[in-house]
Amino acid sequence: MKIGITCYPTYGGSGVIATELGKELALRGHKVHFISYALPFRLSRYIENIVFHEVETSKYPLFEFPLYSLALASKMVEVVEFENLDLLHVHYALPHATSAYLAKQMLRDKRDLKIITTLHGTDITLVGLEPSFLPLVKFSIDQSNGVTAVSRFLKEKTITNYSCTKPIEVIPNFIDSELYKPNEQTSFRDHIAPNGEKILVHTSNFRTVKRVPDTIRILKKVREDIPAKLVLVGDGPDRSECERLCRQLDLCDDVKFLGKQEGLVEILNSADLFLIPSQSESFGLAALEAMSCGLPVISTSVGGLPELVKHNETGFVAEIGDIDRMSKYAVDLLTNEKKFKLFSHNARQRAINQFDKSKVVPIYEKYYKTILGK
Ligand code: GMT
């Protein structure tokens, strides 16, 4: 198949999934064309069967706001025609599904371009609900030929919030379990926890929905029982608040802010437990990456997280903001070696058996064929 993929190219789970999907499809012999305003960050080297098409927006002074959605639609038309694409798969509804709809209409006299929209999270649960976007998101979803959501939760939310009538296929996030795998990393661990302290880790874009300050409060509680450190990977709007909280709680030596990092596998492998105390999370790719490295996960019970984290099996699930409970769960696991090993094993097995790329990518392929009527 000849597939066009549009996604956000910088940090973010939807861009990661879109790019990894494109890479896998290319490996399977499909021709993949990425269409976006920048090269997706996981496409840093040449890969056979993959071409990147950059969308340029005009800086004309009359346009106070860049007309990206329109430039994207034009570029989609150009690539579909020139490369003879079978379908466009857009990730994150706004504005990608809308641009794809426009491209489809522009081409309608020449071909029946099929569009698949994958809903990832805040496009449905947050931004899409804003009155200025809601009708557009609903329209763009309804006009797509196929719609997928990354969890059952997100599918239900879409139906409830947008009264969508379109059938929605649930296709979860996936992982390369051969890349994200357990691998003892002593040097980083020794550096972070020189006295053998346990290490909690959290990775995110530090947006408010992630509730990163909760990870620091959990550490504070955990340290009342056992020596522990917290590693925070990523950056974003709430980082300064987190740094302030560390000073306030006298934890500056115990919380390491690593900022954005490429070598995530190494960092995850140096840690014991992954924390994801989000207020909203449609799937939780970061938690899956940790599970694949054999880390038990402590999460909130929101969104799609309970579909990923099996309570009392691969980790623990608690209510939003329940710091006491999440700390108790952490101490329970970190002080019981037998239980910890079992949870670690279960987490890894769940990642491999349910969410490995070899299991999920063929579901997308099959879905493409259904939409194309093949
Ligand atoms: O919605 C966002 O926060 C951004 C979005 C993204 O594009 O990075 O993340 C979402 O998509 C990921 C990949 O499907 C999911 O694993 C994340 O759970 C989801 N984030 C939220 O729902 C907050």
Q: What is the pLDDT of residue 186?
A: 72
Instruction: Report whether pLDDT(61) > 90.
Output: no
- Give me the architecture of the 2-174+356-372 domain, per CATH: 3-Layer(aba) Sandwich (3.40)
- Cβ–ligand 1 distance for 120 under 6 Å, the answer yes
Which distant-in-sequence residues (6+ apart) come within 8 Å of 121 by Cβ?
13, 14, 150, 154, 280, 281, 282, 283, 303
Q: What is the DSSP letter of 311?
A: B
Mean pLDDT lowest among 18-22, 96-100, 163-167, 229-233: 163-167
Q: What is the mean pLDDT of residues 30-41?
A: 96
Q: What is the mean pLDDT of residues 160-176?
A: 96
Q: Within the chain, what is the greatest distance between any pair of CA atoms?
A: 69
- Cβ–ligand 1 distance for 293 under 6 Å, the answer no
* Average per-residue pLDDT for the chain: 96
- Cβ–ligand 1 distance for 284 under 6 Å, the answer yes
Integer CA distances (angstroms), 80 to 55, 131, 208, 338, in order: 14, 32, 38, 55
The residue type at 286: A
Q: How far is Cα 311 from Cα 289, in angstroms, rounded to an integer?
A: 17
- Cβ–ligand 1 distance for 289 under 6 Å, the answer no
Number of the ligand 1 atom closest to the C-alpha atom of 207: 3
Number of the ligand 1 atom closest to the C-alpha atom of 13: 8
Instruction: Report whether pLDDT(231) > 80.
Output: yes
- Centre of ligand 1 to C-alpha 107, Å, is 31
Which distant-in-sequence residues (6+ apart) come within 8 Å of 340 by Cβ?
272, 296, 333, 334
The residue type at 7: C
- Centre of ligand 1 to C-alpha 187, Å, is 31
Q: Whose CA is nearest to atom 23 of ligand 1?
A: 281
Which distant-in-sequence residues (6+ apart) come within 8 Å of 302 by Cβ?
278, 279, 280, 281, 320
- Centre of ligand 1 to C-alpha 313, Å, is 24
Integer CA distances (angstroms), 65 to 61, 70, 103, in order: 9, 12, 21
Q: What is the pTM of this model?
A: 0.96
Q: What is the mean pLDDT of residues 317-341?
A: 98
Helix axes 212-222, 323-334, angle to 10 degrees: 50
Torsion of CA 360, 366, 369, 374, to 10 degrees: 160
CB neighbourhood size of 54 (10 A): 12
- Centre of ligand 1 to C-alpha 123, Å, is 9
Q: Whose CA is nearest to atom 14 of ligand 1?
A: 120
Q: What is the pLDDT of residue 262?
A: 86
Q: What are 92-142's pLDDT values in tens digits?
A: 999 999 999 999 999 999 999 999 999 999 999 999 999 999 999 999 999
CB neighbourhood size of 9 (10 A): 20
Taking the domain 187-355, which CATH number applies? 3.40.50.2000
- Cβ–ligand 1 distance for 314 under 6 Å, the answer no
Spatial contact of 266 and 233, defined as CB atoms under 8 Å apart: no
- φ/ψ of 240, rounded to 5, equals -60, -40
Q: What is the pLDDT of residue 44?
A: 83
Instruction: Report whether pLDDT(59) > 90.
Output: no
CB neighbourhood size of 118 (10 A): 29
Element (H, E) at 300: strand 297-300
Q: What are 177-226's pLDDT values in tens digits?
A: 999 999 987 788 999 999 999 999 999 999 999 999 999 999 999 999 99
pLDDT band at 12 (very low <50, low <70, confident <90, very high): confident
Which distant-in-sequence residues (6+ apart) come within 8 Å of 374 by Cβ?
none
- Centre of ligand 1 to C-alpha 14, Å, is 6
Instruction: Report whether pLDDT(346) > 90.
Output: yes
- Centre of ligand 1 to C-alpha 38, Å, is 19
Instruction: Report whether pLDDT(263) > 90.
Output: no
Q: What is the pLDDT of residue 56?
A: 93
Rg from Cα positions in the chain:
21
Q: Respond yes or no on whether the N-terminal peptide bond of residue 95 is cis (omega within 30° of 0).
A: yes
- Cβ–ligand 1 distance for 173 under 6 Å, the answer yes
The residue to which tokens 């890479």 are assigned: 23
Q: What is the pLDDT of residue 325?
A: 98
Q: How far is Cα 104 from Cα 165, in angstroms, rounded to an integer?
A: 20
Q: What is the pLDDT of residue 297?
A: 98
- Centre of ligand 1 to C-alpha 339, Å, is 30
- Cβ–ligand 1 distance for 280 under 6 Å, the answer yes
Number of the ligand 1 atom closest to the C-alpha atom of 17: 13
Number of the ligand 1 atom closest to the C-alpha atom of 280: 23
Residue spans of the domains in the chain: they are: 2-174+356-372, 187-355
> Which mutation among 283, 299, 300, 302 tests ligand 1's pocket best, with the greatest number of atoms within 8 A of CB?
283
Q: What are 287-316's pLDDT values in tens digits?
A: 999 999 999 999 999 999 999 999 999 999
Which distant-in-sequence residues (6+ apart) come within 8 Å of 230 by Cβ?
199, 200, 201, 202, 215, 216, 218, 219, 251, 254, 255, 256, 275
- Cβ–ligand 1 distance for 13 under 6 Å, the answer yes
Spatial contact of 141 and 151, defined as CB atoms under 8 Å apart: no
Number of the ligand 1 atom closest to the C-alpha atom of 283: 18
Q: How far is Cα 75 from Cα 69, in angstroms, rounded to an integer?
A: 10
Give 185 or 242, the one with higher predicted confidence: 242
Which distant-in-sequence residues (6+ apart) come within 8 Å of 49 by Cβ?
26, 27, 29, 30, 31, 32
> Which mutation among 92, 282, 360 tests ligand 1's pocket best, with the greatest number of atoms within 8 A of CB?
282
Which DSSP string do the residues of 11-67 spell out, in sequence order?
SSHHHHHHHHHHHHHHHTT-EEEEEESS--TT--S--TTEEEEE------TT-SS--
Q: What is the mean pLDDT of residues 238-262?
A: 97
Whether 2-174+356-372 shares its CATH topology with 187-355 is answered: yes
